[in-house]
Amino acid sequence: MASRSVSPVRDRLPNGLRVVVDPRPEVPVVGVAVVYGSGSRAERPGEAGLAHLVEHLMFRGSAHVAPGEHARLVERGGGVFNAVTRADDTVYHQVVPVGALEQVLFCEADRMRGLRLTPQSLHREVEVVDREIRDTVRDVPYGGFPRNALKAVLFDRFANAHDTYGDVEVLRALTVADVERFLHDHYTPRNAAVAVSGPVTVDQVRELVSDHFGDIPAGAAVPRPDLTEPVPDRPRHDTRYDPRAPFPAVAMGWRVPDPLGDPDAFLPYVVLAELLAGDGRAPLPRRLVRTEGVAVTVDAAVNLMGDPFGVRDPTGFHITVHFRPGVAVERVVAAIEEECRAVADTGPTPGERARVLGKLTARLSGRLDDVSARAVWAARFALQRNTPDLGGELLGGLAAVDDDAVRAAARAVSSRPHATVEVVTEPPSRTVTTAGAA
């Protein structure tokens, strides 16, 4: 973990806004993140993609900031910015010179108060989103696979199963009033966190955030959809015909324990994913790619809803294999099941868990060398876990995962019903879904 002279400090304004300051005097720039604790799972039926659309609209101007001016401010100073909508939150982050900190906070506070919205600007942005969906999902090989494809099979509730990008026809039917209602309900201080990481002091950031955000009304209690649903009691399967895909593929998904409510049960799945497919020495790629030569790529992860360390329950664990034409999908699935059972029966080989934990620790620590990532992490943790901890809690939890915990996770994967999504490159006699369909 990168060194720092002062630990992150958490505060909260009277209007409910969470504030985290991460002083890092050794770096030359400042990272600023504003995270709202609502993402695609805050959408209701008939709103698929609204959270993602709002993310776009946040750059189209507010009361005192012209359309595009926020981005120009960041870029003029040589900074960078981005935003992303996930299942459980929407993140806005930027890296700027320290001298631009107050201007950035002013812009963020101004758009938290409200946006410049007209039917025309809404229509234009829906078309921008449509192009984004075409470029990333509809018109590309494997669009939406495996995450969105598996979500739709593994889960039943709309909030859990639908595509974060959204449905363009649904978006075209939305009105300015629909967007304003979402902003009123979710883009409020009590549902947000601001984090600043860089060569700043706690008092300096507290004063700036209080000056610019302190008079924004707290907002009402944030409406939360009921996300609970039972674990599937039987296998589920979907076939997607994708004529653009160069290789057939299969993804298998399982529900996992609550990442926030039961981290001791959840973290072993993070270790299991790395153990099974983290590199060429791992059992699945070693067998399917190197030894048998039937697969092209193998991946395993606990991230159906996004970053495994920034997601709420329910979520899932998945194993995805792109394999060579002519290979039976049943052979690939059988190999996955056999390797999972092997871990369930014998656990990691001597030294394997330590190697995997070392990789996970290095990766997590490396991510936190970046001021933007640190700010995002701090804001997310403040919202979801009520702590400014920057990775220490997770690193400690991962270090505590022993062989028995990994075996238990593998046993659960081996014994519980799973969801399977198969991508075929030749038209089957009957398909359930066409890949890339909005």
Residue whose structure tokens are 């490159």: 425
CA–CA distance from 318 to each of 5, 269, 340, 410 (Å)? 39, 10, 12, 12
Chain centre to alpha carbon of residue 113: 25
How far is the C-alpha of 253 from the C-alpha of 364, rounded, in Å? 24
Position 183 scores a pLDDT of 98
Crossing angle (nearest 10°) for helices 101-113 and 202-213: 30
Q: Are 250 and 421 in contact (CB under 8 A)?
A: yes
pLDDT for the residue 432:
47
The mean pLDDT value of the chain amounts to: 93
C-alpha closest to that of 61 among 71, 76, 49: 71
Nearest to 244 by CA among 167, 327, 143, 332: 143
What is the separation of C-alpha 198 from the centre of its chain, rounded to a whole number of angstroms? Answer: 24
Tell me the two tokens of residue 415: 């014994």
- Nearest partner of 180 among 118, 129, 224, judged by Cα: 118
Q: What is the pLDDT of residues 175-230, one digit of tens each?
A: 999 999 999 999 999 999 999 999 999 999 999 999 999 999 999 988 888 999 99
- How confident is the prediction along the chain (438 residues), in pLDDT tens digits per residue? 444 456 899 999 999 999 999 999 999 999 999 999 999 999 999 999 999 999 999 999 999 999 999 999 999 999 999 999 999 999 999 999 999 999 999 999 999 999 999 999 999 999 999 999 999 999 999 998 999 999 999 999 999 999 999 999 999 999 999 999 999 999 999 999 999 999 999 999 999 999 999 999 999 988 888 999 999 999 999 999 999 999 999 999 999 999 999 999 999 999 999 999 999 999 999 999 999 999 999 999 998 877 888 899 999 999 999 999 999 999 999 999 999 999 999 999 888 999 999 999 999 888 888 999 999 999 999 999 888 777 778 889 999 999 999 999 999 999 999 999 999 999 876 544 445 443
Is the bond preceding 314 in cis, omega lying within 30 degrees of 0?
Answer: yes
Count of CA atoms in the C-beta half-sphere (13 A) of 56: 21
Taking residue 392's Cβ as centre, other Cβ atoms within 10 Å add up to 11
Residue 260 burial (CB count, 10 A): 13
Question: What are 23-82's pLDDT values in tens digits?
Answer: 999 999 999 999 999 999 999 999 999 999 999 999 999 999 999 999 999 999 999 999
* Per-residue exposure over 400-421, b if at least 16 CB sit within 10 Å of its own CB, e if not: ebebebbbbbbebbbeeebbbb
Instruction: Give the 3-state secondary structure of residue 78.
Output: coil
Task: Report whether 367 contacts 395 (CB < 8 A).
Answer: no
Assign 58 to helix, strand or coil. coil
Please, what are the domains in the chain?
A: 9-213 (3.30.830.10), 236-434 (3.30.830.10)
CA distance 53 to 126: 7
Say whether 348 sits in a helix, a strand or coil. coil
The residue whose two tokens read 């992150």 is 8
Question: In 214-351, where does DSSP find H-type helix?
Answer: 263-277, 283-285, 329-346
